[in-house]
Chain A
Amino acid sequence: MQPSIRSRQSLSVWGAGLFLFAASTATAAVPEHQERHFTVQGHPVVVLQNVVNGRIEVKSWKNSEVVVFSSAAKDKVAIDMEQVGDRIDIAATSTVASGQPHEVEANFQLTVPEHTELQLKTQTGLIYVEQVTGDMKLESIAGDVHLKEVSGYIIVKTTGGSFVCTLCSGKLEFTSISGSAQLLQPSFTNVNLMTTSGNILYDGDFLRTGIYTMKSGKGLVEVRFSGNDSFDLQAKTYSGTVDNQAAQFMQPEQHTSRHGNKFTRVLNRTVGLGFAKVEISTYSGTIRILKRD
């Protein structure tokens, strides 16, 4: 009998423990949702600093109102929002005691007027912006940045996150250490891309008088231009390779005397009348030039 009583007691203790654990887990897992509305006039500025994990999604609408929908664990993340005139500041910070590991999350969904200026900063998690036409500065450590149909002066800075820009226009600056960049069907007049170990893909047209600079330390830089394009190309590398698969559509460059030296291999070519200027370089990676069908 004794062992049976003991095992029943231990069972009940385990059961109670399990119940408490499950209850606490369930409580912790339930995120708190918050929705705030800010009426704005003219060109609003939204500044969001997310110092925990999580996703930031921004879409536009015709209304003169910024709507912020956030979800985060109630006891682990503090979310502050403040409006001063047309500027809205949002900050998500961890409330977990310092020194403790905290894998907490705060996710944001913003709906903003089309001409909104954005300054978004996050650590991990995706930054997604769609159909916003204001200037924007987007910074991330490990999260990716995806933009769709945006225009303006766009600055993207990541440490390891990658960047995808579809149907974007305006002026673009991208810098990263290991993140890659993909520009799909862009209409930028000025592009400056730099990544140390990531790859770069430019798949689109080069606008007249546009200036396009793409630099990679070790990665692949691939450019796919169209038959209607007109640009001067300079591709240079130290120990990498230049794979020109569109040589038949190019002629030796006619406008400048940019030549390499004994340390650098340089390819200078002109497509069409050479209206735009395209400069590609890689230290030890590969440069690939293609013409789209």
Chain B
Amino acid sequence: MHCKELESVLETEGLGQLSKDARLHLATCGACQGLIADFNSISTAAKSLPAEVNPPDRIWISLRAQLEAEGLIKEPVEVSEKASWWESFLAAWKPRAFAAVTAAALVLAVAVYVKRVPQNGVSDVAKKQTPVESSRAVPAQVAGVSPAAALPANIAPTQGSGPSKAKELAPSPSESASFTLNQAELDVPNMQLAGNSQVDTALRQNLRTLNAFIAECELRLKQNPQDELAREYLHTAYQQKADLLAAMMESGRGEN
């Protein structure tokens, strides 16, 4: 038997039981002995690897954002007639997973928001909606009320409203961003972060700083919807908050 023949035997039959010819060749061929040794070490190393490794949340967030940016996936914001899907959705997800998903949704919303060029200022919905109220909307699972009721008035589903009405009442991207950010933030008070007081303090302090700034910009936009500077700063603050929440989730996940 030659080396090539032994290789084809290994390909078809593996390392298990070699024929007499193969063993005879192996006993005299240094190259094939090295090949077998390599296969054995790879096999041993593979067995020592963990069965499953969970990547950090930020990987999923950025992956989703990238796929969305490339138009490979789409997740349109729709106003449903019933709120039951929302309740079952919340029940199905544990808080940490939910936070990760909402952060992902946030990135999508922000991505849409970035692409949207304000031609006539903000949408009709935004004009009717108080941005501060939308950003401070109490989430359903905390308040213990119907999730639909917890949505800002213009986002909450309306019984009997037709498709055109639903379209009119669809939340603007900035409202969606604000809402999903606040959903993601729900977990933060209960989250044990890095277990490192300096880091925890810095993360929480900066979250407060951002929230105050976002509220200021939202208020300004409510008063002057066509103020592009306020919109620009609000957009940046949303992005920073999304990054900060992702860092907090990662920090908490890494330690728990």
Do A and B interact with each other, yes or no? Answer: yes
The number of A-B residue pairs with CB atoms under 8 Å apart is: 97
Does B108 belong to the interface (CB within 8 Å)?
no
Does A100 belong to the interface (CB within 8 Å)?
yes
- By the criterion CB–CB under 8 Å, are B227 and A197 in contact? no
Q: Which chain A residues (221-257) contact chain B, with CB distance < 8 Å?
A: 236-238
> Which of B194, B197, B229, B256 meets A264, CB within 8 Å?
B229
Does B254 belong to the interface (CB within 8 Å)?
yes
- By the criterion CB–CB under 8 Å, are A283 and B233 in contact? yes
- By the criterion CB–CB under 8 Å, are A99 and B209 in contact? no
> Which of B228, B229, B237 meets A196, CB within 8 Å?
B237
- By the criterion CB–CB under 8 Å, are B229 and A281 in contact? yes
Chain A neighbourhood of B228, CB < 8 A: 261, 263-264
Q: How far is the CA of A236 from the CA of B228 in the complex (A)?
A: 12
- By the criterion CB–CB under 8 Å, are B244 and A123 in contact? no
From residue B198, how far is it (CB to closest CB) to chain A in Å? 5
Q: How far is the CA of A177 from the CA of B207 in the complex (A)?
A: 9
Does A190 belong to the interface (CB within 8 Å)?
no
- By the criterion CB–CB under 8 Å, are A177 and B206 in contact? yes
Known: A196-B210, A218-B213. A263 touches B196 (CB 8 A): no
Q: How far is the CA of A65 from the CA of B240 in the complex (A)?
A: 37
Does A193 belong to the interface (CB within 8 Å)?
no
- By the criterion CB–CB under 8 Å, are B196 and A160 in contact? no
From residue B45, how far is it (CB to closest CB) to chain A in Å? 14
Chain A neighbourhood of B203, CB < 8 A: 141, 159
> Which of B194, B202, B229 meets A160, CB within 8 Å?
B202
Chain B neighbourhood of A264, CB < 8 A: 227-229
From residue A214, how far is it (CB to closest CB) to chain B in Å? 13
Known: A177-B206, A263-B226. A53 touches B198 (CB 8 A): yes
> Which of B206, B233, B256 meets A99, CB within 8 Å?
B256
Known: A99-B255, A177-B209, A284-B216. A238 touches B196 (CB 8 A): no
- By the criterion CB–CB under 8 Å, are A217 and B227 in contact? no
Of the candidates A51, A100, A283, the one having the most CB atoms from chain B within 10 angstroms of its own CB is A283
Of the candidates B192, B197, B199, B227, the one having the most CB atoms from chain A within 10 angstroms of its own CB is B199
- By the criterion CB–CB under 8 Å, are B202 and A263 in contact? no
- By the criterion CB–CB under 8 Å, are B195 and A102 in contact? yes
Q: Which chain B residues (212-256) contact chain A, with CB distance < 8 Å?
A: 213, 216-217, 220, 224, 226-230, 233, 236-237, 240, 244, 247, 254-256
- By the criterion CB–CB under 8 Å, are A217 and B237 in contact? yes
Q: Which chain A residues (97-139) contact chain B, with CB distance < 8 Å?
A: 98-103, 123-124
Type the 1/0 row for A38-76, where 1 means its CB is closer than 8 Å to any CB of B. 000000000000011100000000000000000000000
Chain B neighbourhood of A217, CB < 8 A: 213, 233, 237
> Which of A52, A123, A197 meets B209, CB within 8 Å?
A197
Q: Which residue of B lies closest to A264 (CB)?
A: B229
Q: How far is the CA of A218 from the CA of B194 in the complex (A)?
A: 28
- By the criterion CB–CB under 8 Å, are B255 and A53 in contact? no
Does A286 belong to the interface (CB within 8 Å)?
no
Chain A neighbourhood of B217, CB < 8 A: 283
- By the criterion CB–CB under 8 Å, are A283 and B198 in contact? no
26 residue pairs of the A-B complex, CB under 8 angstroms, read A51-B194, A94-B255, A96-B195, A98-B195, A99-B195, A101-B195, A101-B196, A102-B195, A103-B196, A124-B196, A124-B199, A159-B203, A159-B244, A160-B206, A177-B209, A177-B210, A177-B244, A196-B209, A196-B210, A196-B213, A196-B240, A197-B213, A217-B233, A238-B230, A261-B228, A263-B230
Chain A interface residues (CB < 8 Å from chain B) = 51-53, 94, 96, 98-103, 123-124, 141-142, 159-160, 175, 177-178, 194, 196-197, 215, 217-218, 236-238, 261, 263-264, 281, 283-284
Among all A-B residue pairs, the 7 with the closest Cβ atoms: A142-B202, A263-B227, A177-B206, A160-B202, A123-B199, A124-B198, A264-B229
Besides A96-B195, A159-B247, A177-B244, 12 other A-B contacts (C-beta < 8 A): A94-B255, A99-B192, A103-B198, A141-B203, A141-B247, A160-B205, A175-B240, A177-B209, A177-B210, A238-B229, A283-B213, A283-B217
